[in-house]
C-alpha cells in the first residue's frame, strides 16, 4: 500500500466496492488484495495476525486466483438471502448464531434480529471479533459448536 489513495480505495471496498480494490491491486495483486481485505474484516479491538493472514491469503490465492465471477456470485447470494429471511420462522432445527461484535459487514443488530426470528435460536457474540474469525477465538468457537451439537458434553 503506497499512499492515501490506496488506503481510501480499500476502505471503500469494505463498503461493498470490491472492484475498486481490485483495480487498485490488479489481477497480479491477488495476495496483497486478500491480505488487505482480511485486515479490513478483522476486529480493530484485537491485534491483526498478519503472519497468519498472509499465509491464508497465499494459500487461498494459490488454490483459486481471484475470479470476478466469484465476487459477483457472493454479492448476489447476499441480496437473494433477503427473501429467505422472511422464512426463518419455518426452521425447526436448533440454531447457534456466532457473531463478531466488531463485524464491519454484518451488524450485531442483524444477528439479534435473526435470532429473534429463529425459534429457540441461541446467539453468541464474541468481543474482539470482526468478520474474520481470529485464531485466539478458535477454541471458544469450537467449544460453543460442540456444546450446541451435544458433543463431549
What pLDDT digit, counting tens, does each position of 125-137 carry? 999 999 989 888 9
- Listed by start position, the domains of the chain span 4-68, 89-149
C-alpha 9/C-alpha 16 separation (Å) is 11
Query: Can you give the C-alpha Rg of the chain in angstroms?
Result: 17
Residue whose C-alpha cell is 419455518: 90
Residues whose CB falls within 8 Å of the CB of residue 122, separated by 6 or more in sequence, listed in order: 94, 95, 96, 97, 115, 148
What pLDDT digit, counting tens, does each position of 99-145 carry? 999 998 889 999 999 999 999 999 999 999 999 898 889 999 999 99
State pTM to two decimals: 0.72
The predicted structure's pLDDT at residue 83: 78
Amino acid at each position: 500500500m503506497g499512499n492515501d489513495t490506496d488506503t481510501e480505495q480499500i476502505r471503500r471496498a469494505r463498503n461493498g466496492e470490491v472492484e475498486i480494490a481490485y483495480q487498485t491491486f490488479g489481477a497480479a495483486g491477488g495476495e496483497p488484495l486478500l491480505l488487505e481485505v482480511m485486515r479490513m474484516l478483522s476486529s480493530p479491538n484485537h491485534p491483526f495476525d498478519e503472519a497468519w493472514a498472509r499465509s491464508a491469503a497465499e494459500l487461498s490465492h494459490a488454490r483459486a486466483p481471484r475470479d470476478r465471477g466469484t465476487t459477483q456470485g457472493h454479492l448476489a447470494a447476499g441480496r437473494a438471502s433477503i427473501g429467505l429471511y422472511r422464512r426463518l420462522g419455518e426452521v425447526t432445527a436448533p440454531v447457534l448464531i456466532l457473531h463478531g461484535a466488531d463485524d464491519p459487514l454484518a451488524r450485531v443488530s442483524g444477528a439479534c434480529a435473526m435470532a429473534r426470528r429463529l425459534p429457540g435460536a441461541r446467539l453468541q457474540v464474541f468481543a474482539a471479533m470482526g468478520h474474520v474469525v481470529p485464531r485466539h477465538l478458535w477454541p471458544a468457537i469450537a467449544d460453543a459448536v460442540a456444546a450446541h451439537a451435544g458433543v463431549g458434553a
